[in-house]
Amino acid sequence: MSTTYDQLVGIVKTLHNAPAELFAPEATFAQLDVDSLTLVEISMRIERDLGVTIADNELQEDLTLDATAQLIDSKLAQ
Amino acid sequence: MPSLSPTSPSVLPSAARQGRAAVLCGLAGWVPPRVVTNEELSRRLDTSDAWIRTRTGIGQRHFVEPGQATSDVAVEAGRLALRSAGTDAVDAVVVATTTPDRPCPATAPVVAARLGLDGAAAFDISAVCTGFVYGLASAAGLIAAGVAGRVLLIGADTYSSIVDPDDRTNAIIFGDGAGAVVLRAGGPEEPGAVGHFDLGSDGANEEMIMVAAGGSRQRTSPGEASREERHFSMRGKEVFRHAVTRMTASARNTLALADHKAEDVDHFVPHQANLRILRSVAENLGLPMDHCVSNVESVGNTGAASIPLALADAAARGAIRPGDNVLLTAFGGGLTWGSCFLTWPALAQPGLPHDQGEELAS
């Protein structure tokens, strides 16, 4: 079974071209060169595929992939 | 949701449509000759061609010359559309625009006069980037009600007149231009009959896309308007989310009303806001990108002109053919959104909007 982190990375890779070696739990969206509109696209895809609503101000460019996965998990647990 | 759902009792299903319909019989686009490339913008703004292309899909846009107004581009597109329809007489001229020549009066009467359409009914539609789809519904209504037998509908905008040239966020997106169609009275089953429609609005979010100053709210308030208030502003992230959500829902509503499925759509022609919005909406609808008509690369976001300009461009290239199913979907300030389904008619093939721009410049 894929983890939330894996699903998140899958979504980001679909919407954003970045070198594969940059994808790591501690990488921030800024380090992956993800801009603010792509963050909106990512949050809408998370909403559609994982059923979790994330507000625009929750997904910031300085957030790491790991922290984002934890944010999704905490919402899934609610 | 304030949008009419396909089950709303006020919207008639296919079987109930009868009598007179508005049929598309002429089409043309026109952009001013002056091309503004990403490279030109990057000389005075902190941006680059690569940055703009990656984020918006836009490569260049056209701007009017100093002193030129929306009516000037509207007249060019209107004249070409009348020629395409093979007519020099209409009963009504409707101009969809966010950048009228003046706050008062409307731009349509002067456009009608300059086209020699003396005495025709003439008025503007103000629905920002959804203006063309709202205009189509209004023109269809004039024809269905027997008020007009033939209508010239022009979507025309000169965003260069309201966007602050130093506003890096918006200056890269918008361009000037006009697209026009001629509609005639006909039957609802004819190719080119416009409709079904889905139209909606959400005024609670009016501040998401606006020019704050220049209207009664500001003019009756004390103090001078700031530079920022006098120019176009847009809250990009929120607009992106709303645009994708509303355009997807509106397209689905219209397909349901027309009793069609997404796979029946040969050409999806969305408002050319930004390539990434178009991609997201097409993907939500399950439409392959090669069914999505886009000319945003060459003209940018041209407001109310964008859908007819994209149609004229696709028709000129022979990409849209008679009998093809076409779905138009727009989203804009208001907020407003709307969609229209039609089967493409046989039309005189229009010239490429930018080729005509160059031709007229020489």
pLDDT tens digits for B110-163?
999 999 999 999 999 999 999 999 999 999 999 999 999 999 999 999 999 999
Lowest mean pLDDT among A10-14, B22-26, B177-181: A10-14
Check residue B233 and give its pLDDT.
97
Q: Which residues of B120-159 are buried (b: 16+ CB within 10 A; e: fewer)?
A: bbbebbbbbbbbbbbbbbbbbebbbeeebebbbbbbbbbb
d(C-alpha B249, C-alpha B66), whole Å: 40
**Nearest-CA distance A37 → chain B (Å):** 6
Say yes or no for a CB contact (<8 Å) between B241 and A37: no
Check residue A57 and give its pLDDT.
85
Say yes or no for a CB contact (<8 Å) between A44 and B236: no
Check residue A43 and give its pLDDT.
93
Q: What is the mean pLDDT of residues B253-261?
A: 96
Check residue B361 and give its pLDDT.
38
Check residue B12 and give its pLDDT.
52
Q: What is the mean pLDDT of residues B254-278?
A: 95
Q: What is the mean pLDDT of residues B75-86?
A: 97
pTM assigned to the model = 0.91
Check residue B357 and give its pLDDT.
43
Query: Sorting pLDDT into bands at 50, 70 and 90, what band is B8?
Result: low
pLDDT tops 50 at residue B362: no
Q: What is the mean pLDDT of residues B250-267?
A: 96
Answer whether residue B136 is part of any domain. Answer: yes
Q: Which domain holds residue B41?
A: 16-362
Query: Sorting pLDDT into bands at 50, 70 and 90, what band is B238?
Result: very high
Answer whether residue B10 is part of any domain. Answer: no
Residue with tokens 């983890």: A3
Answer whether residue B11 is part of any domain. Answer: no
What chain A residue is nearest to B56 in terms of C-alpha separation? Answer: A37
Check residue A2 and give its pLDDT.
67
CATH 1.20.1250.20 given to domain A4-77: no
Mutate to test the interface with A, among B169, B235, B237 (most CBs of A within 10 A): B237
d(C-alpha B268, C-alpha B271), whole Å: 10
Answer whether residue B167 is part of any domain. Answer: yes
In 3D space, the residue among B210, B9, B72 whose CA is nearest the CA of residue B129 turns out to be B210
The count of structural domains within chain B is: 1
Q: What is the mean pLDDT of residues B100-117?
A: 98
Q: Is B271 one of the annotated active-site residues of the chain?
A: yes
Q: Which residues of chain A have pLDDT under 50?
A: 1
Q: What is the mean pLDDT of residues B183-188?
A: 96
Check residue B182 and give its pLDDT.
98
Q: Is B129 one of the annotated active-site residues of the chain?
A: yes
* Residue A63 buriedness (CB in 10 A; 0-12 / 13-18 / 19+): middle
Residue with tokens 């966007």: B163
Q: Which residue pairs from B293-297 have beta carbons closer than 8 angstroms and sit at least 24 positions apart in sequence?
A: B293/B267, B293/B268, B293/B269, B293/B319, B293/B320, B294/B57, B296/B56, B296/B57, B296/B58, B296/B272, B297/B57, B297/B58, B297/B59, B297/B60
For residues A55 and B344, the model is more confident at B344
Q: How far is CA B73 from CA B77, B336, B355, in A?
A: 6, 24, 15
Q: Which residue pairs from B228-232 have beta carbons closer than 8 angstroms and sit at least 24 positions apart in sequence?
A: B228/B164, B231/B162, B231/B163, B231/B164, B231/B167, B232/B159, B232/B162, B232/B163, B232/B164, B232/B167, B232/B170, B232/B174
Residue with tokens 């070409």: B80
Q: What is the mean pLDDT of residues B93-115?
A: 98
Answer whether residue B8 is part of any domain. Answer: no
Answer whether residue B37 is part of any domain. Answer: yes
Check residue B216 and give its pLDDT.
95
Q: What is the mean pLDDT of residues B194-214?
A: 96
> What is the CATH classification number for the domain harbouring B244?
3.40.47.10
Answer whether residue B271 is part of any domain. Answer: yes
Query: Sorting pLDDT into bands at 50, 70 and 90, what band is B223?
Result: very high
* A37 neighbourhood in chain B, CB within 8 Å: 55, 236-237, 240, 276
What residues of A are in the B interface, CB distance below 8 Å?
Answer: 35-41, 44, 48, 56
Task: Copy the structure tokens of residue A19.
Answer: 């070198």
* Cα B242–Cα B13–Cα B287 angle in degrees, nearest 5: 45
Query: What dihedral angle (degrees, nearest 10) is formed by the CA atoms of B347, B273, B140, B150?
Result: -50
What chain A residue is nearest to B275 in terms of C-alpha separation? Answer: A37
Check residue B120 and give its pLDDT.
98
Check residue B359 and give its pLDDT.
42
d(C-alpha A45, C-alpha B275), whole Å: 17
